[in-house]
Chains A and B, each alone.
Chain A
């Protein structure tokens, strides 16, 4: 999706606030927003991370750029709850449930939250029969066109030349998984030279690395 979220290389977003306090949360609501999201499991139970990311990408552009981050994060969780018929919009607006709870949530301690975090390490690699199309060192061109739905091919490398830096086997393919189709594709780290991406970087030897799936890439 060619949305406002695809920010790499965009200009005019100003300086960075480098004097932010070191504490993880800068307001009570931030801590609670994060914890509510963790507590409910990051949205409706029938969604996946790619669907969640796509929901966030469909945030109204002006909201996407201006709403506080964790507020926007929690909004994505809420959208999935409404979409999966777990809550109504009215219930979320009023903060009052109009139907009996579907079940009883179990309370956990801090120690159990830490254990639950530890158990949440997730692997996204999958077995695949197809041989990889590219070898480390091969030169590629990133595709000019990407999916109109969720995709992880940023605009700033489309149509650009790069080189395969590493191969990671096959990983779940977000463009398909966001649509509910479990499919894996070979995943590569691709190196792009800054001078091949940006007109002002002619003299630069800096490199930008992206992790890109096989169908995003064509041989040079």
Chain B
């Protein structure tokens, strides 16, 4: 590709670096944390997430038609792309491998509770699941619920509690300690 004049080694290294650190799930976590502490921002996010993330400069690859879907005590949201692997790159970074596997793509729409159980999420039967299959250019961001007992935390501290998986929907009850895995 370099010999063909299609790209350069420096450019390739720059893209590795950009997606290793800056363009990743910490962006989505900041957006979620802001929505928890600023109700007017949350309103803007739920009305037009593509526009709301421009307030952070996070718009970019695959977020032109971003939609935020909110978890509540009665509702859990789960995002999948059954036809390929559509993912809001600019706000969540590189998709985890499991998101792109046949196992997840085939089962998320048919056996979402089984999928969630494998991720360690047990839902009461009275909690309804909404599965969002990304079949067009809309991309989905799950807004997890703010954990109880975090009233004293600031936006930055709250963002550390938000896991990548919680923004896809394969995590639900966030810990009040710093985010652990994924």
Contacts and interface: CB of A to CB of B under 8 A. Distances in A.
Interface of A: 5-11, 13-18, 20, 22, 24-26, 31-32, 34-36, 38-40, 53, 56-57, 65, 69, 81, 86-87, 91, 96-97, 101-110, 112-114, 117-125, 152-154, 156, 168, 171-172, 174, 187, 189, 197-198, 201, 205-213
Interface size class of B (residues with CB under 8 A): 35 or more
Interface in B10-28: 10-20, 22-24
A8 B106 contact: yes
B161 to A, nearest CB: 15
A39 B1 contact: yes
Contacts, number: 237
Contacts of B17: 110, 113
B160 interface: no
Interface in B125-140: 128-138
Contacts of A32: 12, 16
Contact of B82 (A6, A20, A213): A6
A96 B1 CA distance: 9
A117 B23 contact: yes
Contact of A13 (B23, B101, B119): B101
A86 B6 CA distance: 9
Contact of B131 (A14, A86, A91, A206): A206
